Structure 1
Amino acid sequence: MKKVMTLIAASLLLAGQAYSQTKTKEKMKQTGEKDFYTFQLSDKVTRQKVTFKNRYGITLAGDLYLPKNRGSESLAALAISGPFGAVKEQSSGLYAQTMAERGFAALAFDPSYTGESGGEPRNVASPDINTEDFSAAVDFLGLQKTIDRNQIGIIGICGFAGMGLNAAAIDKRIKAVATTSMYNMSRVMANGYFDGLTAEQRANMLQQLAEQRWKDAEQGTYAPSSNRLPEKLQGNEPQFVVDYFNYYKTPRGFHPRSINSNAAWTATNPLSFMNFPLLTYIKEIAPRPVLLIAGENAHSRYFSEDAYKAANEPKELVIIPNASHVDLYDRVNVIPFDKLESFFRESLK
């Protein structure tokens, strides 16, 4: 069972114990802000904090990036979220800013129950509600006077790539969808990494989750998961754990509101995903185009490859040579922004 839970821990991208207050204060001091971003604001864009509600009544928080020299024409727009357990001040914000530099309106948002967005309890995820979060972002973008509501696409990063594909399948207003470093969270939670869970192991996991529900009910609170990144690397961790650590637990990508930097998912978080196959209707995205981007060396690469096989045309799979899963979070010299720009310029005409 220990092996199974290790696989699940890897799959959920669970993270850890609180980052030291000293390091947090040091980073805030370095940025000179009460809050901070893991990247510098470009002088080519504006950034505005916004809020909007999803159809469950949860208030979502986002940052709207607009190109400064945009003229008077309506803009094509992108809604962006991910990775799973991250916040808009991390990877999704970097993507949004970069796409705004290239002429798009781009909204990076915190999903329900995380970051500055609403929802209780905290640090939980839902394949249904988080799919809806993308559509709520489309609602918001389509109401802006500077945006052409007929030219809206989405980008899903890591675990929110699966939710993004699911949103595109059900919401015909989404004209194109791109994903990077995709994780299919329902598949990996239900079946384990590389579908390694046996029926007996899955049953045992569900039994553990059921027992945890009794404990939570008795305590009146939701216990955090014990699966988390280490505070220090011991030198014997798998490479993907090292990669996650080097992003979430160092100044490169650390943010105090990020679950993967400074908290943990609830112990019962997998329950929402165990019987919810996210990509059941991926074929229904067509004839709208799908772009799937993955690193050649990413441990998650098979999710993008399998999604590509399942989707209908038009579709494209781009494998980035020598790139890992986490490289596509923030390595601007690795992330194929030229490809993303050309894809959405063609798709959102």
Structure 2
Amino acid sequence: MTTRHKVTFTSEGASLTGNLFLPDGADGPVPGIVVAGTWTSVKEQMADRYAERMADRGYAALSFDFAGFGESEGEPRDWERPEAKVRDIRNAVNFLAGHAAVDADRLGALGVCAAAMYMGAGAVEDTRIRSLALIAPWLHDPEICRDVYGGAEGVDAKLADADKARARYEATGEVEYVPVVSGSDPRAAMPMEVDFYLNPERGGIPQWPNRFAVMGWRDWLTFDSIALAPRVSVPVVLVHSEDAAIPEGARRFHTALDGPKNFVWTNGIQFDFYDQDTTVTTAADAAAAHFATTLKA
């Protein structure tokens, strides 16, 4: 059984809100896992689900809203900034390390989709993160960004839009937004119909406003997570599918890793890893097994 506690902690002056899932009946402090989900997401969409699964398997697991997202403080809202999210992860680790139920010497991180990039960067910067589980990881470099976003011309257009939106924000305080997901708006960050994000029975929940700050394109497109891989020395497991998002990025990242590593290939499209029970269970089991061997007392 698992108990969920609503918690808050501070990150760069902002109060962040999270859910701490603790295994019932634990005998002494247990390993702690920081959990985060896809770009633009709030904790209720997928991070809570994985955090609860980790707690079911004996870990203390913290899911939280990044600054500017969901229940957390921070302005401007819904601005996807990888470096800022990495700072929030460091402060989430601070919270876990200081909690009485957590063994501060056994801390890991689990990232779903884009959070795989952020958790990888977090492990490079924070030696307290001793193990990583990356689920359906979105891991990109400049080449992959060109492949995904319409070649060099498409990337340059998004960077120009970002710079224009940033200048407007700095001059007026106004943030330009487009939808994260839309099948009718070509400016959407994902200009397509995605049931997970648009279905209120799945990820289309009230806590998630489905908006993307246009000035975030520069932060997103220039964050090279694959270049970080040689600096990641902690044990890593990647759980992915050939039918999910950019498996080539995951392969490149895995190849470049310097430390112990494992790759678990399974089935499912990207969005299955967010909320489909069979796929989530497979991924959670792989992550828990990895943490069991890499976060030993």
- Decide: shared fold, TM above 0.5: yes
Is it true that 1:221 corresponds to 2:174 in the alignment? yes
Residue number among 33, 38, 43 corresponding to 1:88 in the alignment: 43
SS in 1 for 2:93: helix
| Percentage of identical aligned residues | 27
Report what 1:320 is aligned to: 266
Match of 1:292 in 2: 238
Q: How does 1:159-238 map to 2 (within 5 A)?
A: 159-184=114-139, 187=142, 191-194=145-148, 196-198=150-152, 200-217=153-170, 219-225=172-178, 228-230=181-183
Of the structure 1 ranges 324-333 and 223-232, higher mean CA displacement relative to structure 2 is found in: 223-232
Instruction: Give runs of aligned pairs for residues 101-116 of structure 1, distance below 5 A.
Output: 101-116=56-71
Q: Are residues 1:332 and 2:277 paired?
A: yes
Provide the C-alpha distance between the structure 2 equivalents of 1:175 and 1:256, rounded to a whole number of angstroms: 35
Q: Deviations over 1:177-235 (max 9, x none)?
A: 111111136648x833447522x444343333333344445553111125632389xxx
Opposite residue 247 of structure 2, the aligned amino acid is R
Structure 2: runs of 5+ lacking an equivalent: 186-190
* 1:248 Cα offset (Å): 4.2
The one of the two structures with greater contact order (alpha-carbon pairs below 8 A, sep at least 6) is: 1
2:108 corresponds to 1:153:
yes
Q: Does 1:47 align with 2:1?
A: no
Alignment check: 8 A CA contact 2:158 2:217 kept: no
Question: What secondary structure sits across from 1:305 in the alignment?
Answer: helix
Q: Which residue of structure 2 lines up, in the alignment, with residue 5 of structure 1?
A: none
Shift of 1:95: 0.5
Structure 2 distance, partners of 1:187, 1:116, is 32
Structure 2 distance, partners of 1:150, 1:214, is 44
The alignment covers a number of residue pairs equal to 290
RMSD: 2.4
Letter of the structure 1 residue corresponding to residue 273 of structure 2: L
Q: In the alignment, is residue 271 of structure 1 matched against residue 228 of structure 2?
A: no
1:214 and 1:146 map into 2 onto residues whose CA distance is: 46
Whole-Å Cα distance in 1 between the matches of residues 180 and 86 of structure 2? 25
Cα distance in 2, alignment partners of residues 77 and 202 from structure 1? 38
Larger relative strand fraction: 2
- SS state at 1:155 partner: strand
Amino acid at match of 1:245: D
- Inter-partner Cα distance in structure 2 for 1:249 and 1:227: 14
Contact 1:186/1:273 (CA < 8 Å) preserved in 2?
no
Q: Partners in 2 of 1:59 and 1:254 — Cα distance?
A: 25
Deviation at 1:347, TM superposition (A): 0.5
**Structure 1 counterpart of 2:75, from 117, 120, 124:** 120
Specify the alignment match of 2:292 in structure 1. Answer: 345
TM-score with structure 1 setting the length: 0.76
- 8 Å contact kept, 2:121–2:225: yes
SS in 2 for 1:333: helix
The match for 1:254 among 200, 204, 212 is 204
Q: What residue in structure 2 maps to residue 142 of structure 1? A: 97
Shift of 1:312: 1.8
- Does structure 1 conserve the Cα–Cα contact (< 8 Å) formed by 2:141 and 2:227? no
TM-score by length of 2: 0.89
Alpha carbons of 1:215 and 1:98: their partners in 2 closer, same or farther (altered >3 Å)? same
Report deviation, 1:315.
0.6
For 1:132, the aligned partner's letter is: R
Separation in 1, partners of 2:203, 2:16: 22
Deviates more, 1:307-316 or 1:218-227: 218-227
- Contact conserved, 2:162 with 2:215, CA < 8 A, in 1? yes
Letter matched to residue 224 of structure 2: P
- Alignment partners' CA distance in 1, 2:125 and 2:68: 22
Q: Which runs of 5+ in 1 are unaligned?
A: 1-43, 233-239
